[in-house]
Structure 1
């Protein structure tokens, strides 16, 4: 009987320990790491910062903020292949609080953010590498893209 109790006690302890180990790997329980990217500024076509760094396996909330008077794209096909998208949200400031207006799920390859607005892309990098194709392909009135005017960047996942 003593060995049965010992075996049962051991099984319970191991079961609790393995459950805790599984919970530690539960990405839905992570607090997101916030990274803000400014998409242009008045009179400038640029990403700020121009280089973004991520680490595989961590949850990020990528905040795309457009304070310029032009719409801008955040486009990187290579980056979209190296991440798992949990959701993308359209947000707006109302009475000093961020309010979610819409939410999208599934593969995201490009996000357009209108002037004075912001969006959130919740993602987990799943592959290391370098994406040097970050760009904004919106065209100006003279036919040039914002990328041709300098709105390009690089994303590094370690």
Structure 2
């Protein structure tokens, strides 16, 4: 087992201190970014689909994913794989207040699934932290025929570069 002397430990601490003092840390302020807005429709009247059904994001950028449901059915936006590749800043339930679209509630923490009711909107603010391709985007709501909306074609793909 290799041992470090007190002097070599002090040297490492000194180098790290100089690196931090000189600004050698990662650049950018993730909290101060303007979000890149991406809108996806959850269903269409009479159709169980995501529009678009292929989403692409970049690591390190702040996104506001606007989930709109123009259909007559509730829909899920569910992806375990996506949730593992991002840091969720917040999710907002949107609605009308004083005649204007406004946040009615805000959720924080690990999010894997968002249900959006007919005619409603939710916003998912996140930063991708890892690259990958996930194909588990789906709506798991069971339709009147006993099949899920995913069985009817409400599936999608997400790529993070």
TM (normalized to structure 2)?
0.83
Deviations along 1:16-70, whole A, 9 cap, x unmatched? Answer: x849x87x51111000000000000100000000100000000000000001000
Identify unmatched segments of 5+ residues in structure 1: 1-14
Q: CA deviation at 1:92?
A: 1.4
Higher fraction of helix:
1
When the two structures are aligned, how many residues end up with a matched partner?
A: 141
- 2:64 counterpart of 1:55: no
Matches within 5 A, 1:37-56: 37-56=40-59
Q: CA deviation at 1:142?
A: 1.1
Across the aligned residues of Structure 1 and Structure 2, the Cα RMSD in angstroms comes to: 1.7
- 2:85 counterpart of 1:74: no
1:112 equivalent among 111, 115, 131: 115
- What's the counterpart of residue 3 of structure 1? none
Query: Which structure 1 residue ranges, 4+ long, deviate > 2 Å from structure 2?
Result: 93-97
Matches within 5 A, 1:9-158: 18=23, 25-94=28-97, 97-158=100-161
Q: CA deviation at 1:95?
A: 5.7
Q: CA deviation at 1:112?
A: 0.2
Q: CA deviation at 1:96?
A: 5.4
- What's the counterpart of residue 15 of structure 2? none
Structure 2 CA distance for aligned equivalents of residues 87 and 25 of structure 1: 20
Structure 2 CA distance for aligned equivalents of residues 139 and 95 of structure 1: 35
Identify unmatched segments of 5+ residues in structure 2: 1-20
Q: Counterpart of 1:69 in 2: which secondary structure?
A: coil
